[in-house]
Structure 1
């Protein structure tokens, strides 16, 4: 459902409640003059501000603390602040607007103590509108997550097909197979290991990589295999640094999320410059995974056949890591740098 449609639904719902309160108040008061009716409408409108404020304070400020950030102390604190704010709002309306401006005294000259205001707000508005805000946030989050999962499945299928077209291209496979054949023909000791790496790479891409999330250790192993096969394909004339730092334990990461940047560096970067190698750096902690890659651009490269494409990678990140990732891409004409941070939350 579009955001504009949701706003319209909210307006209609509150308008219905407002009209209902005006009508019930009108029936309880009996016949009224036009001025009395308009005055009553304004009073009911002001009273409607309180449940509206209660509902949206619960929805925008309190519910996210409980259901998203898991900051329960903050949630309780925001709840208390909401209660104080509503009590203050009720008091200001009664004594600074109704009495001096509208000449309407709801308590007939007997002012309520503060405790009565607190009890009124806590026992009348909180059991309804405050809880409604919590329930609405929960329902909306559930529906949004369901929609994202469906969209992710569609996006993942598209991304996988594009990825396979990129990575499983004949040039890469045939060159690697030919290189392994040459190693075998020469009876090189590297041939069995190269063949094993190619087998592991294909297995991961075609079978294991179909999972939404994979252990970080498996993703690192996959990248190592790709890098090693690239070195074999370049016949030792490829300068690639791949460093892994930090703690690699039980972290889960979106499958095949890094390879797009690596493939882009190999395809459009300079690999045979000893002074400017392709630098790939991955740092892992219990809370985040940082991935950085830098390469000198090959401006003479005419192969414009892309991989998944940066736009699709960004889309996957938005779907899998909403508000939990930072992607910074810089292209200064000579070097291409990518920095990606994923919040794992372990």
Structure 2
């Protein structure tokens, strides 16, 4: 783990050092373009030294400083001041002795030469420090974004883990009622449930599914629920899909239909009715569900069940442009969902 951390820290300097060298060469070319090959070798020699010292300063010395180790920290600062001044001058003299560094211009006193090199050193500290700060800031933002995405995905999975068992529990209750009454419709209900289960097992793991496939599951679920009712139930489901392959999150719409059956039609005594309309055009999804209810609207605040609450949270995590409008009226409940599918997060 520690070795991986060192590698990540070294990545910045792989491109920062050549960039700093190129910047100095451009400044040399602007000031004096004579003897450019010699100037290039001089800059390479000086930048090599400063890069090592700056790496040590920013990656080890400064991060390791603390008040608890004040004396040790002070000694390291003094050492770095020596390396950026006298040490830098000694490095230049070593380059001259090895015939790597070529003195250019008129000779100047040692004190003035050390002062010039010290200015060069502090310039490199500023450049390396500013770029390193920006680099770490960008990396931190990227890491924070990745954590946010992972957190949102974990929450979406949690919401699905709540919604799917809730949906299955209600469906199994319906089948149990048919089996208890020894209805001939029980085998058909089990067959339709198997289709829904197959879809949930193999399709819902992907972030998107085709709207045409989602429509089939809705129709299977409606047919499964209709088995519990007699001829008095009126169901009308119309749709207008511009593209059957338009991607939508799987099982996103089914909570509205489930809510209509469980909390509306199941409580309607006379002539239960359900009207639904699904439209997808120009990346705009519209889904309306209107169902009868068994009683007039009360004066209290509307309390949403787990299905609608989870749906709202999923929408907030998945899209930036959406609207879920719930309108309870006397003996009627209407849910309208609008989504700009291109606003997916």
Task: Decide which structure has the larger Cα Rg and report it.
Answer: 2
